[in-house]
Structure 1
C-alpha cells in the first residue's frame, strides 16, 4: 500500500488541475486587457509646460458600458504629467469604432505612462474592470542656449584640468608609490571598492523606485578623487604628498575602473528603468579624458616653463572647476531642487561621510601615521563631482541627463560640511591651547622672586 494513501489521490488531482488553472489564469488576464488603439504608441517629445493631444479608438464598447460605466485616462505618476478631461466621452464613427481624445500636459521632467480604465459609475473605489495597455510618456526640458553653454564649458574646463594633471604628473612619485604602495593601495581600495558599493547600496535603500537618482548617486560613487581633497588635506594637516599621489593614481585608474563598474554593477541599475547602458559614450568619454592627460604630459616633457605655470594654477583651478560646475549646474537646473527631498539630503551627506569613515578605519587598521590617516580619509570621501556631472550630461539622453545631476550636486554641496566642522574644531582647539599657553607664560613671569632667608 502507498505510504501516502489516501493523500496521494488528492495530490494526483492537484497535479492534473495545475495546467487547467494556468490556462484559466491566462484567459482571465487576457480578458482583463482591453483592446484600445492610441494615435501614438508613446510620447517621447513632450516638453515641460506643453500639451499634446492623444486620440483613442475602441471597438469593444456596448450601450451598457456607456450607460453604467465610466472610462478614465490614468497617469502612473501624476507629478510628471496630467490628463484632461479625466473622464472620456466616446462617439461612434462610421466604421463602427468608438473614438475619443484627451490632452496630456507635461508638468515635470521624468518618465511615466498612461492607460485607459473602465470602472463602474457607482464604485467609490473605481476599480478597473477593463484596462488598456499603457503608453509611455517622456517629459523633457526644452533645450535652451544656456544648456549648450554649460555642456561645452564643462567639456573645455574638464579638458584643461586634465591637461594640468598631465603637467603635474610626477613619474618618480608614481614609481615610489608602486615601490611602497600601501597608501595609494588603501586609497584605491577605499575609493574604487567601498565607494561604488556604498553608493549602490545607498541608492537601493533611499531610491528603490527611482532609477535616475540611483544612477546619479552611483556615477558619483565611481568618480575619482577630487582636486579639492588636496586643499582639505593641507588645511587639516594631512600628508599633502600622499594626497596628491593618491589623486593622480585614482584619476589614472578611473579610466579603466569607471567603465568596469558601469558595465558590471551599473547594469543592475540600467535594467531597472527606461535608460539603456550607453556603452559607446562611456568608452568615448574615458578615451576623451586620456587625450588631454597625454597632452599635459607631453607639455611637461617638452615645454618645462609652460608646464610649471600650469602646475602652479592646478590646485586653485581644480577648486574653481568644482565650484563652477556645481554652481552652473545648480543655476541651469534650479527647478530640480523640487527633487531635494530628505532622501537626497541623506544621500548627499551619507556618501562622503561613509567614505571618510571607510578610509579612516582602513588606514587605522593598517597602522598608518596620523597625517597619512588624514590624507587617506579625505581622499576616500571627496569625490570629483565635476567628472560625475560631465559623464551624466554627456552619456545619458534627456531627461535622464538632467534628473541624474541632482545626486552629484547634492553630494558636492554636502561634502565640505564634515571637513569644515572639523577644521573649525581644530582652529578653536588651537586657539584655546594658545590662549592657555599665554596665560601660563604670563603667570610664570608675574610670580615675584623668592627673597633669600636671613637664617
Structure 2
C-alpha cells in the first residue's frame, strides 16, 4: 500500500462539505487482506446532515477484484474514522468510491485506486528468464540459418515478400487493434496483449507448416527473414503510434525505454548468429539443424510453463479470450490467402504467404509484455498471446490431416486401379489364344 495520503473532497451544495482522508494508491496481493485507515470529516459547520446516519454514506468498489469490509473506530455527527479490510480477489485495478447522500443530493467521489497483483515467486523469475534465454538462443539460431542466397534469389521476384511484409506489418497490427477494441472495450490490458501479439514478427513455426502443407519454403524463409529484421523498426513504430491510444485509455505509461532495450536485446543475438555463420560455418550448420525442432520446443515450453506458473490464467479464459485467440491468426490466414490470390500468386506461394501472415511469434509477444509492463498488466496481458499460440495450429493441423487423408485415398485408388488393370502377361496370353 502506498504510504502517501491524499485528500478527497466531496462537494455538496457547491462547497467542499466533506473531506475523505485515505491512501490514494493501494496495492494488495491476491488472496491476501490488508488494513487501510480512513477518515471522513464534515467541513461545513452549517451543514445539518448527520453523518452518523449510516444511510447517508457508503463506500463501493468492484467486487470481482476486491472485497471490502470496514470497522469504525470513531463515529459522530461531524466525522467518522475506521479501518478498511481489503481482500484481493483477482488481478486488476478498481476505484474506491465514497458516496454521500444529503439534502436531496447524491454525490460520488473516487477517493482511491486499488490494485490487485500476484505475489512474486521464484518460479516467476525463472519463467521470465527462461523465455528470455530461449528467445535469444532462437534468434542466434535464426542468424545462423539466414540463407542470403535464397533470399536474393527469391527477392528477384519481390511480389511475394512484399505481400508478406504488407500483411505482417499492416494487416495484422490493424486486425489486432480492432479485435481488441471490439472484444475488450473496457479492458485496455487485454487490448494491449492483443495488440502486442499482432505486431510481433512471424514465428519460426511458419516454415515448418509451410513445408508440411506443400508451400513455397524458400519464400517462407525469405519472408521470415525480412519480417524478423523489419520487426526491429515496425514493432516500436506501432507501439509509439497506434499503441499509445491503448496505453492512454488504460492509464498505463508507454514503456519507451524498456521497448528500446528489448529491440536491442534481440538485435544482439541475431548479429551473433550471423557472425557464427560467417566465421564458424560448421557450428552454424549444427545450429541450423536444431533450429526447427527448437522452434517447436520453444512454443510448447512457453505455453506449458506459462500455464503451470500462471494457473490463474484459466480464470481469464472467457469465450472472448478464445475468440480473440482464434480470430487473429485465423483472420491472418484468410487475409494472407485472399491478398496473395488477388495478386495472382502460385498455389505454393499463396500457402506460404497465408501461413506466414497468420503465425505470430507469441514467444516474443509474451517476453515483450512481461519485460515492459508492470503488475498486474504484465499478468493480465499474457493470456492473449497464450490463447493465440494454442489456437493458431488448429486449422493448419486440420488441413494437414485432410492432406494426409487425400493422399492416402489417392494411393489407395491408384493401387486398386493397378490391381484391376489386366497385366501384360495376361494380355499376351489372350492375344496368343485369339491368334490360334
Aligned to 2:82: 100
Contact 2:172 / 2:332 at 8 angstroms: preserved in 1? Answer: yes
State the alpha-carbon separation in 2 of the partners of residues 424 and 63 from structure 1.
74
State the alpha-carbon separation in 1 of the partners of residues 13 and 404 from structure 2.
71
- Cα gap change, 1:446 to 1:139, in 2 (>3 Å): same
**2:22 counterpart of 1:39:** yes
State the alpha-carbon separation in 2 of the partners of residues 160 and 89 from structure 1.
59
**What is the CA-CA distance between 1:29 and the residue it aligns to?**
7.9
Local SS of the residue matching 1:69:
helix
**2:389 counterpart of 1:412:** yes
**What is the CA-CA distance between 1:432 and the residue it aligns to?**
1.4
- Cα gap change, 1:239 to 1:204, in 2 (>3 Å): same
The 5-angstrom pairing of residues 159-238 of structure 1 reads 159-238=136-215
State the alpha-carbon separation in 1 of the partners of residues 140 and 251 from structure 2.
36
**What is the CA-CA distance between 1:102 and the residue it aligns to?**
1.7
Flag structure 2 segments of 5+ consecutive residues without an equivalent.
Answer: 1-9
Aligned to 2:291: 314
Local SS of the residue matching 1:103:
strand
**2:51 counterpart of 1:50:** no
Aligned to 1:272: 249
More strand by share: 2
State the alpha-carbon separation in 1 of the partners of residues 404 and 36 from structure 2.
64
**What is the CA-CA distance between 1:31 and the residue it aligns to?**
4.1
Local SS of the residue matching 1:405:
helix
**2:93 counterpart of 1:111:** yes
- Cα gap change, 1:281 to 1:30, in 2 (>3 Å): farther
State the alpha-carbon separation in 2 of the partners of residues 153 and 30 from structure 1.
59
State the alpha-carbon separation in 2 of the partners of residues 294 and 128 from structure 1.
66
State the alpha-carbon separation in 2 of the partners of residues 166 and 347 from structure 1.
32
State the alpha-carbon separation in 1 of the partners of residues 382 and 12 from structure 2.
40
Of 61, 80, 83, the residue aligned with 2:65 is 80
Count of matched residue positions in the alignment of Structure 1 and Structure 2: 418
**2:50 counterpart of 1:64:** yes
Cα RMSD for the two superposed structures: 2.4
Q: Deviations over 1:8-38 (max 9, x none)?
A: xxxxxxxxxxxxxxxxxxx988749863323
Local SS of the residue matching 2:200:
coil
**What is the CA-CA distance between 1:51 and the residue it aligns to?**
1.3
Aligned to 1:11: none
**2:123 counterpart of 1:146:** yes
Aligned to 2:275: 298
State the alpha-carbon separation in 1 of the partners of residues 284 and 206 from structure 2.
22
Of 65, 72, 91, the residue aligned with 2:75 is 91
**2:230 counterpart of 1:247:** no
Contact 1:351 / 1:411 at 8 angstroms: preserved in 2? Answer: yes
Aligned to 1:367: 344
Local SS of the residue matching 2:422:
helix
Q: Deviations over 1:45-94 (max 9, x none)?
A: 3111111222222222856343472432200x211111014x9685249x
State the alpha-carbon separation in 1 of the partners of residues 134 and 15 from structure 2.
56
**What is the CA-CA distance between 1:39 and the residue it aligns to?**
3.0
Contact 1:285 / 1:391 at 8 angstroms: preserved in 2? Answer: yes
State the alpha-carbon separation in 2 of the partners of residues 133 and 443 from structure 1.
84
TM-score for the superposition, normalised by structure 2: 0.90
The 5-angstrom pairing of residues 380-419 of structure 1 reads 380-419=357-396
